[in-house]
Structure 1
Amino acid sequence: MDEQRLIELEVRGVDEWRETVTSLLLPLAIETDDPDSFRASITTVTVSGVRIYRISATSHRSARTERLVARGGDPFYAVVHQVAGSSRVAQYDHTAELVRGDFALYDTTSPYRREFPEGTTMVMLIPQQLINLPPRAFAQIAALRIPGDQGIGAIASPLLTGLAGNLGSLLGQGGRAVVQAVVDVISACVAEQLGIAAPTRSTTHLELLMEVREYIMSHLGDAGLTPQRIAQQHFVSVRTLHSLFKEQGTTVATWIRERRLEMARRDLIDAMCTDPIRVIGERWGFVDATHFSNAFKLAYGASPRQYRQAALQAQAEARV
C-alpha cells in the first residue's frame, strides 16, 4: 500500500465490500443479513509499516477462517477501537464486547470472528515486531479488551479517537512520531491489563531497530542467527546492535528466543499443523529438542506436548 496517499472509498453491497477489505486490509469471510442494502466507507493510510483504517458500515459479520489464515500473510497485531456504536471480537475462547471508547487486540495469524452492528471503528494493523512484550503477554493478546474509561486505557481512548478523525494529518512530517507514540501507548495498556512491566524505548534508532527486527523475523528458522551475523547484515557493530535492544529493556538473544517460542506456540495450537513437536522446534531454530522443551515450559508454564494437547482440546470443546 502506498504510504504517501490517503485512500477513501464508499462501498455498496457486501460483495464489493469483501473485495475492498481483501485488497486493503486482509482476506476475510463476510456475511450480512441484507447484502443488497449493505453500505460501508473506509479511509486508510499506512505510516512506518502500521496500517490504519477508519471504517463505518451497516450491520455485518466477518471472520478470518482457518482456511484464510493458511494462505499466509504478514503477521500483525490488530487493534480495533470503537469510535461509535458497538462490536464484538472473538478469538480462541476469548470474546471482547466493545462499546464506544473501548479497544481490543487480536492476532491476525490465527482465526478470529467479528460482529458489527451499525457503527464506526478504527483498525490498526501493527507489525508484530513493533510490539515488545514477553511471551506470556503474546499468548494472552487474543481478543484482549482494554476499557476506554479505566487506567491507561482512559488516556489511550481519546488519543485513538483523535487519530481516527484525523488520518490525513499522518501524511505530514509529524505522522511517524504520532504513530510511534500510539503504538507505545497501546503497548503500555496491554502491559497494565496483564500486570507486567511496560516496555520503553528511545526513538533515536527506531528505523534501524525496525529493520533489524524484520530481518530477525524472516530468519528465525536459521539456527545460525547470531548477533554477529545480524550486525554484519546491517553494517553496524555488535555493540551498537546490543545497545538497540538494551533500550527496549531486553537483549538480542532474548528477543530472538521469545519470537521463536511464540512462532512455535502458534504452530502447536494450530489444528491444521500435525508436525511432530521436534519438527516444529527445528522449524523455528531450536536444533535441540530438550532445549526447546525446557525453554517453552519456562516461558509458558507447560511442556510443548501439554500445551498442544490443552489447546486442541479447548478448540474441540468450543466447536461442540
Structure 2
Amino acid sequence: MRAVIASGPGGPEVLSVGEVPDVAPAAGEVLVEVAATAVNRADTLQRQGFYPVPAGSSEIIGLECSGTIVELGAGVEGWAVGDEVCALLTGGGYAARVAVPAGQLMPVPEGVSLVDAACLPEVACTVWSNVFMVAALQPGERFLVHGGAGGIGTMAIQLATALSAKVFTTAGSAEKLAVCADLGADVTINYRDEDFVEVLKADGGADVILDNMGAKYLARNVDALATSGRLVIIGMQGGTKAELDISALLRKRGAVIATALRSRPPAEKAAICAEVVEHVWPLVAEGSVKPIVHTRLPLAEVAAAHQLMADSDHIGKIVLTL
C-alpha cells in the first residue's frame, strides 16, 4: 500500500511516499481505507526522532484519519464494512489503509465532509479529555489556551465558548487574534507585546490553563492561575525542564497536571472517544463547533505540509488527502 516513508530523522525533506507492506486488522480492530489524515505537532517531532513510537504500534506517522471501513477483525461489533468513520490513532495515519482498535473509531459528525473529518479526532479528544475530563472546566470559569490559532487552540476556544466559559487566548499576529475572536474568544492577547499574566491577573486569574509550551511558560502560567486553578500541560515546545515555585502553587491551592494521549491504553482512548461522540459531536452537528482547515494537500506533498507546520503561519489544521 502507499504510505509516507521517512528516510531517517531530520527535516521535512526526509519524507516521501512509497510502497510498504499492507496491513490487516487483528481481533478487535477494523481496517480503514484512508480518505484523509492531518498533520499534528507530534508528527513533526516523530519525524525528527524526538517522539518514540509506543511499543507494538505502527512506525508510520499519523495520529488521526478519516475513511471507510473495508474489513472487520474478529469480535468487532457495532460497525460494518462501508461505514464512514474518523479515528484516533497511535500511528499509521499517513497511509492508504490503517488498522484501528474499534473503540477508537467515531462516526463522521453530521454536516462534516469525510475529508475534513480527518482533522477532528486528535484535537477533539485532546481538548475534551484535558480541559473537561481532567481539569473539569465549568460554565463561567476563566479559561486560557495558548496558541489559539492552531489546531488545538481553535478547537479549545470553540468548545469552551460553547460550554459558557470566559475564554482568553494568546497568538502572535493580528490575523490570528482576529480568527480567535471570531471563534468566540472573549479576550485575545498578542504574546509579542502583551503579558498574558497581567491580563489574567487583572481579571482574577485563570481557573484552567491549557498549555503546549511546557518549561518556558511554567512559572508564568502558575502566576496567572486563580485560586484553585488547574494548569494542564500537553506539550513541550518551550522545553522540558523548569523550576516550579511550590510555595506559589500552595498559596493558590493550584494543580499542575501533565498528560499525554498517544501513550494511553486502548481502553482509556475508547472512553475518551465515547465522550467526544456524546458531548462534542452534537455541538459540531449544530454548527457551534466546526473543523478549521487551513489547507488540504495531497499526500505526495507531505514534506510541504510539514514545512508549513514548522513555519507556524497556518491557522487551524493542515489536511493530507489520499
TM-score w.r.t. the length of structure 1 is 0.29
Bigger proportion of residues as helix: 1
TM-score w.r.t. the length of structure 2 is 0.29
